[in-house]
Structures are given as C-alpha cells and as structure tokens.
Amino acid sequence: MPEPVTGTQHVPGAGREPFGSRLGAAMAARGPLCVGIDPHPALLKAWGLDDDAAGLRRFSLTVLEAVAPLAAAIKPQVALYERHGSAGMAVLEDLLAEARDESVLTIADAKRGDIGSTMAAYADAWLRDGSPLAADSVTLSPYLGFESLRPALDLAADTGRGVFVLALTSNPEGASVQHVGGEDSVARRITQAAATENARYQGSMGSVGLVVGATVGSAISDLDLDLAAVRGPLLAPGLGAQGATPADLRATFGTAYPQVLGTSSRDILSAGPELQGLREAARRTLDGLRGE
C-alpha cells in the first residue's frame, strides 16, 4: 500500500481539498514523480500481452500496483485506451477508480480543447463529480484561445480538481505555434493566463498547471517565461527514454524546479512486466528527481 497522503481523499465537490494542494502534499510525501501509463501495442507485445482490452487491463493495473507506493500521480494516455473502443474506455474507468482507492492522483492525458457547449461537455466528462471518467486532473489544449477552456477551469475549481494546459511542448512542430510572437509569444501568454487563474487558489500551489516538455532546453529562458510565478504544477513529460535526465530538469526549470512533476513513461514501463522490475525503475527515477 502507498504512503497515505493528507488531502487525497475523494469526497464530493465542496469538501474536496483543491487539486494543487493535494498534489503538493503528494509530491512532498512521495516525491515529484508522475508515471505515464502508455499501453502502446509494442509494449503490450513486449510484456507478452494481447493487444486487446484484456491485455490493456492487465498492463494498466500491474503498473498501478507497482508504482502506487512511489508516484505522486499516474498519467494514463487516453488515446491508447480509446483505440480499443468502449472496452478500452471501460478499462480506463476502472484504472481511475483503482488509483482513487490507492490514494494515487490521476492526470487524464486527454488534451481536450474546444469551444462553448462542446468544451463544457469535455469538462463534464473528465471533471464532474459522478462521471465514470472523472480524474483528479486533465490535460487541455488552449489553441482555440485560453479563455475557450473556461468551462473546464471553472468546473475544476468547483470540484477540487485540476487542469494541465499545454504551454511549451518539446515536439519540433510546437515551436511554430508556441514560440510565435517573440517577447509576447503564445507560450508566454498561456503562462501568464495560468498565473492569473491561480490567483483564485490559496496556499503554495494552484490547481492550474502547465505542460512543459522536459527536453525544451533553453526555450524557457529564450521566451522569458516566468514559470515560478505561475504558482502551479509543471508537468514535464520526456524524462528517461525521450532523453531528459533529472539534472536536465533542474537546469531547464531553474527556480521553478520545486513545482516540477517529472514524468516518465517508457523508461519505467519497459522494465515490466514483473512488479519488482517496474518498482525498481520507478525508484531509480524518483531518486534522481530527489537528487539522491
């Protein structure tokens, strides 16, 4: 069983501590590790599992069992469940419920973004109390305008959940949008909007986080992004197999490093299917993030 974390109990809306506070407590208690649960077909095959809903379930619950004592959060990649249709989404619902029972926070990596009633429906699916897909937080895409995310931002605040907004991704194509504007770049506007949004939250960490790739290098300083001022968690995918080390994260994020939730997927998942191998890989990553 994982170490209990104060404030992670899943209780209805007004009684739930804000996501940022719960995540901050989990990071302090266990360390700043998020494990991505990415059931790619090649990984399922490597584990000796069929590429079907049964294989998906075995993979997902095994990873959760292995990393629950170590990870502040897990991040299931929603697309890799969607590809199995309704059966795959049922597995995702069960994974989210099991993580809740294990007091492990969840980040649904859905990257949703739309306008009006459609955005409200996405928010309802991932952030509403009682929804079978309700996670502790969800990733969002702001490229129809940050304010288009308003239904999710407000529902997350109302239910004690959180969001992670794509701000500075490490894929080569990202710069063609996120870097545009120079001193007034798209990434900087998103960063400032998140900081403004977090003003509604008390305590040390708000519930509006950003996704900033672990391998973005000098882009944070080049674009003059003040990530520490966001006062929200910084989800940093790309640790391990994608090339970033814990030392890289410290250098890249600087004074904002205490807000960083380092995210590793393939580097840990490839150590399966045995629980011990997965747990040892997660522990090595966590020790690196802690500087041990």
User: Which residues belong to the active site?
Assistant: 111
CA 134 to CA 151: how far, in whole Å? Answer: 15
Region of 134 (left: φ > 0; alpha: ψ -120 to 50; beta: rest) is beta
Q: What is the DSSP string of 96-124?
A: HHHHHHTT-EEEEEEEE---HHHHHHHHH
CA atoms within 13 A on the CB side of 24: 19
3 state DSSP class of 39: coil
Q: What are the φ and ψ backbone dihedral angles of 267, each rounded to 5 degrees?
A: -60, -35
β-strand partners of 138? 108, 163
User: Which residues have C-beta within 8 Å of that of residue 65, sequence separation ≥ 6?
Assistant: 275
